Each structure stands twice: as C-alpha cells, then as structure tokens.
Structure 1
Amino acid sequence: MYEEHFGLAGRPFQLTPDPTFWFETATHRKAMAYLGYGLQQGEGFVVVTGDIGAGKTTLMGHLLATIDPEALNAIRLVSTALDADDLLRTVAGQLDVATAGLAKADLLVAIERGLHSVARTGRRTLLVVDEAQALSVSAVEELRMLSNFQAGGRAMLQIILLGQPEFRERLHGSDHLEQLRQRVVAIHHLDPMGVEEIDAYVAHRLMVVGWEGRPDFTPDAFAALHRASGGIPRQVNSIANRLMLHAALTGNDLIDGDVVEAVVADLRADLPSPGRVTVVEAVAASDQEAEHPPLAGDEAADHARLAELEARIDEQDRALRRVLMLLVDWVEGDATRPSLAAVRDEAA
C-alpha cells in the first residue's frame, strides 16, 4: 500500500531475490571478481557462501544475466537435500536427457552424452547449485565425478556451489571432500554490508522504482538500520519495508533514527520473549508471522486460551457422537428417521 502513497512504480524492498535491484557492495564486487576468474579457468568448482539473506541468489542472477549464452549453457539446481541418485536425475533433466528406467551407470552415460551434445554447439555447461549445504556427502561426490567429463582434453562441465557458512566449514573440515577441495578454483564468502553502504543501498533500491525523495532518511536512520539488520541485505529490506509502511500510515516524510528504533521495538514486541532475542532475529521472525502467528505474550492468558479451546473440542466431540448415533439408528431402521433439521439442531 505504501507504493501508491509515495508514488513508487513497484516494491523497492521485496524479500524475493530480483537481479533488477542488483547493488554492488564491496563484498559482492569481490565475489563477481572471483566468479569471473573461476569462469575463465573453464573447469573445477567455484564456491560462494554467505549467511541467509546475504544476497547469494541475487548475485547469481546478476552473473547469469551477464554471461554469453553462446559460450555457456547455464543450468540451475536448487538443492532440497537431494540424495546422489536424485541429484543425477535432476541434472539429467536439466540437460533434457530422459532418465526413466535408467540404472546409475546408464544415467551417467546419458548425462555425458547430454554434455557432449552441448559441447558440439561450441558451448560449455555451467551448473549452478544453490543451497549446497543441504546436499549429502555422496551427492557432492557425484558432482565431483561429473566434473571429470571431458571432450578434446577440456572439461565439459563447470560447477558453482552456493551455500550457507556451514557448507564452507564442511568443505574445509571433511576428509571425505578432500578431492573436491583440490578442484576448487575460487572461493568467496559474502560478508554483511558496512554501515557506510546502507545509505547507497537503500537509495539505489528506491530509485529503481522511481523514488523522488519521499520519504527521506536522515544519516542516523541509516546507522540505526545497520545496527538492527547487521548489514544483511534481506534484513535491511525487511526493516525498510516496515519503515516505509510506518511512514505512509503516519504521514511522515522523514525517517530518522528514532523512527527506526521505534519500528524495531515493535518487531521485538511481536515475539514472546523479546528480551532474549536479537534485533536481527526479531526481524527474521516477523517475516514469517503470516505463516507462523506469534503466541500470546502472557503465559496465564495462553493457558486460559488453551483450556477454552480444549473445552470447545470436547463439546464438539460430544455433539458429533450424538449425531453419529442418530444416523446409525436411521440407517439400521431401529428408530424413527430423524429429519435434517433434527440433525442440525443436535449438531448445534
């Protein structure tokens, strides 16, 4: 609703990754440099890690929008804890290879043929795997095996792995992944934005949707926004969304540090134990309110509500049993068939 109030052409702080809003922070600039270097190598693995909401998916969307489709056949896979066999079949599907009824050995042959088919067009296949931390060790090992496929002494497949920090820790600490570590040609961890980047980040996203200065932000607002978000882009977006809504509802055209603190305090208050939750955690939890409504704040009130709900359930259960008994009597013919009105009255 605030977009119309401020005359914006769209939502500047949506949480869904959108390359249209690409903003090159210092850490994203380094990531693009590492990715560019890795792609020039034409083989092996490039690994990018970052906290939830750090911008990994947006980074990859920007990269894929800039690569030459005549040189690279980019395919993308979002891992949902796939095992090794499912991973292979998913990769095969991305290469338009039929997998029905194929055993693993035949599946690998089919994938190799699919890669050869792409290579004959003069292109190399780039496989981007998101949420790599959810992959099993066996699935990651299958990816390493796929990277062995060659044509004319050159790799036909290069792989980019995107994951949360635990994937990087696992990569460095697991003896089972030693061979994959040796295939990594570039690796980068996305750090949070610095406080000096928040101003430009917010302004950029607003200008993409036609911002003309309403609402405006004071310098201390950006400092407060950085403290509250920890510099994580998605958290910045989440808080900024609420700031914009607050400004529209109150008719305020200037957002300062006090406004940011007030909005963040509201986010804290929406949680059952705000004193034990960080601001960043409060924002993350508030993003999910629609799917996971917060509990009532007072424990005694919670118990009272629970008791009331249990009483209602017991009452409905008794009414249902009475209705079922009436229906059984009706079917068996042992009693006068009740009318629908009687059944409704009994249920009520």
Structure 2
Amino acid sequence: MYLYHFGIRELPFTLTPNTSYYFGLPSHKEAIQVLSTALMSGEGFIKVTGEVGAGKTLICRKLLNELPDGFVTAYIPNPYLSPAELRRSVAAELNVDLPEGTDTQEFTQLIQQRLVEIHKQHKNAVLIIDEAQALPDESIEALRLMTNLETESQKLLQVVLFGQPELDEKLRQPKLRQLLQRITFSYKLKLMDADQLYQYVRHRMAVAGYRIEGLFDEACCELLHKASGGTPRIVNVLCHKSLMLAYGEGVQKITPQHVKAAIDDTEAAIPINKKKRWAWVPTSLFAAASVLALAITSIHMNFDFLGSGWIK
C-alpha cells in the first residue's frame, strides 16, 4: 500500500497486538510490574482491567513472552466457556489428558496431580485469561474452585484476569464475592495523554523503519488525542487512515486536514467538527489511494511477467 511511499518495511498501525511494537507507556510498565511482583510472591488471583483498545492483550502477550522459566503457563484468549469447557481448556493447556465423560471430581484429581508435579519441579503454574469479562458466572465459580488446590504454604495455581471494566461490575455481584475477596493485586490501565501519544506515534513509525522526523507533528497528534481520548487502538486506526490519505495525495507529510478526514471517517472516534466539513474528503482520497495502489500493483505484475519470460 503506502510502504514504498514512506520508505517503511511494514504497516506501523495494525490492530493486531504485536509485542515488537511495545512502547512501554507508563501505565503499561506499571501493570507489568504489578503482575511480575504478584506472580513472584505466589498470589492466587491478579486482575488487570482497562477500556476497549487500551492495550490489555498486548500486555498479556508480553507477559507470556517474558515470564521466566520457573513458570508453566496456560493461556485462554476466548473465555466464553461453560464450566465443563473451561475445565477442558485448562487441562489441554497444562497437558492433562481428560477422557470423555470425565466428571468434576475426576477433573480435580487429574489437575491436582499435574499441579503437584509442576510444584515438585520447583515451578509455578499460571492460568492467564484474556477478555475475562466474557466468563459466565458459573465458569467464574468453577475457576475459583480450581484455585482451592494448594499446599500448606502455597497456591498450586495462580490466575491472572485481563478484562474490560465490565469485569469489575461482574465480580461485585454478591454471588461472586468469594472470588472478589481472593483478588490480592489489581491494576487499572490508564489511557495516553497528548505527549505520550506523540511519542507513541513516533515510536511505531520508527519500528516500521521510518527515519525522518516530523511525519505526524504536534498539531496532528493533538487532534489524534482529542478524537481518540488517548486509546491506542483508535490512534492506530486514525494514523493508518491519515497515511492512506497522504499517500493518495502523493505527499510526504501528514497534515491536520488528513487527520480530520480520518476522524470523520471513523465511527469510534470522538467528533471534533460539529458540521463535519471534511466528510467528502475520505471518499475521494481513499478512492484515489486505492486506484494508485492498484496501478502500482499492475505495474509490478507486468514487470514480473517480463522478467519471467512470459512477455517478449
């Protein structure tokens, strides 16, 4: 698309959490520090919450990548599971073979055997659940019962919950108060301020291979902050569209007009123009960018045919 135009190796603002683009925002660093401290101290339940797009999954993956060898991890990214499905998922992650028809008591025995085995190896078992707000109430209770497995001095299974603010509301239900009381460490992610956003955008462009200063200036980043509220995911969407618009115009610098057009074209963005004066721009410029991309692709394809001998 616009890689060659800006001289970068890869798209810098994709929505897929990529730890190679981890910036180390203060809030993210604090969350990882809290998680590391809690896990090293052997705490049972740890909770990290944040708004949609705040970077929870990125932190989750970074934690998985950086846990030392003394931890055996089980990771569940999509926890909308019944208690039986949750037990099977945990067993599979811990390499426990559950025969068909295994009931709760048999599951508990097999899991306990595996956790004791891990403990004898002087390791800690950690269950990490992303999007934990999606856990049904019955599955949360099943999860609590799993953590009852312990030695005289230590829990055999630690649990880290990543979730949206709805997770806090769910856990405040009276019927889930037993699990709420077991959460010893928790952290709430903060969104970026304007200066952090400016540094964040520069960082991602640099990781992608951009070597020139000032592509997104402070005025552009101020608009990005107003429209995103400091949410990294929305910033990524707006930056990607702004780059597309600049590419469509054939220019090498992002202007406030590009950012405003991207904002008007993004439903998740906070509107900054009451009358949306730029509403016509995205359609025309995105179309131009698409036509130009197709033309460049066509040229490359023709060169490929010439080089391969199909056209003489």
Q: Distance in 2 between matches of 1:65 and 1:279?
A: 37
Q: Is the 8 A contact 2:147 2:157 kept in 1?
A: yes
Q: Is the 8 A contact 1:43 1:147 kept in 2?
A: no
Q: Is the 8 A contact 1:215 1:253 kept in 2?
A: no
Counterpart residue identity of residue 177, structure 1: L
- Give matches, 1:1-348, under 5 Å: 1-69=1-69, 71-99=70-98, 100-151=100-151, 153-171=153-171, 173-213=172-212, 216-267=215-266, 278-279=270-271
Alpha-carbon deviations, 1:192-246, whole Å to 9, x = none? 1111111100011111111112771221100001111111111111111111111
Q: Distance in 2 between matches of 1:279 and 1:59?
A: 29
Deviation at 1:152, TM superposition (A): 5.2
What's the secondary structure of 1:255's corresponding residue?
coil
Counterpart residue identity of residue 166, structure 1: E
Which residue matches 1:326?
none
Cα 1:94–1:160 change in 2 (3 A) is same
Counterpart residue identity of residue 32, structure 1: I
% identity of equivalent residues: 33
Alpha-carbon deviations, 1:247-300, whole Å to 9, x = none? 1121222213232112222346xx9xxxxx8449xxxxxxxxxxxxxxxxxxxx
Which residue matches 1:287?
none
Cα 1:117–1:191 change in 2 (3 A) is same
Q: Is the 8 A contact 2:126 2:160 kept in 1?
A: yes
What's the secondary structure of 2:192's corresponding residue?
coil
Counterpart residue identity of residue 222, structure 1: C
Q: Distance in 1 between matches of 2:140 and 2:265?
A: 43
Cα 1:279–1:125 change in 2 (3 A) is farther
Cα 1:242–1:154 change in 2 (3 A) is same
Q: Is the 8 A contact 2:6 2:252 kept in 1?
A: no
Q: Is the 8 A contact 1:43 1:157 kept in 2?
A: no
What's the secondary structure of 2:265's corresponding residue?
helix
Instruction: Give the aligned CA root-mean-square deviation in angstroms.
Output: 1.9
Quick one: higher RCO (CA 8 Å, sep 6+), 1 or 2?
2
Q: Distance in 2 between matches of 1:145 and 1:189?
A: 25
Alpha-carbon deviations, 1:158-183, whole Å to 9, x = none? 00001111101222x21112111221
Q: Is the 8 A contact 1:132 1:162 kept in 2?
A: yes
Q: Is the 8 A contact 2:73 2:94 kept in 1?
A: no
Deviation at 1:68, TM superposition (A): 0.5
| Structure 2 unmatched runs, 5+ | 273-312
Q: Is the 8 A contact 1:47 1:184 kept in 2?
A: yes
Which residue matches 1:327?
none
Q: Distance in 1 between matches of 2:184 and 2:41?
A: 8
Q: Distance in 2 between matches of 1:130 and 1:157?
A: 17
Deviation at 1:26, TM superposition (A): 2.2
Q: Distance in 2 between matches of 1:111 and 1:38?
A: 23
Q: Is the 8 A contact 1:132 1:167 kept in 2?
A: yes
Counterpart residue identity of residue 112, structure 1: Q
Q: Distance in 2 between matches of 1:11 and 1:256?
A: 19
Counterpart residue identity of residue 245, structure 1: M
Counterpart residue identity of residue 101, structure 1: G
Q: Distance in 2 between matches of 1:215 and 1:3?
A: 17
| Structure 1 unmatched runs, 5+ | 272-276, 281-348
Q: Distance in 1 between matches of 2:42 and 2:35?
A: 11
Q: Distance in 1 between matches of 2:113 and 2:265?
A: 57
Higher alpha-carbon deviation: 207-216 or 158-167: 207-216
Q: Is the 8 A contact 1:214 1:253 kept in 2?
A: no
Deviation at 1:80, TM superposition (A): 3.9
What's the secondary structure of 1:154's corresponding residue?
coil
Larger radius of gyration: 1
Which residue matches 2:307?
none
Q: Distance in 2 between matches of 1:260 and 1:183?
A: 45
Which residue matches 1:303?
none
Which residue matches 1:340?
none
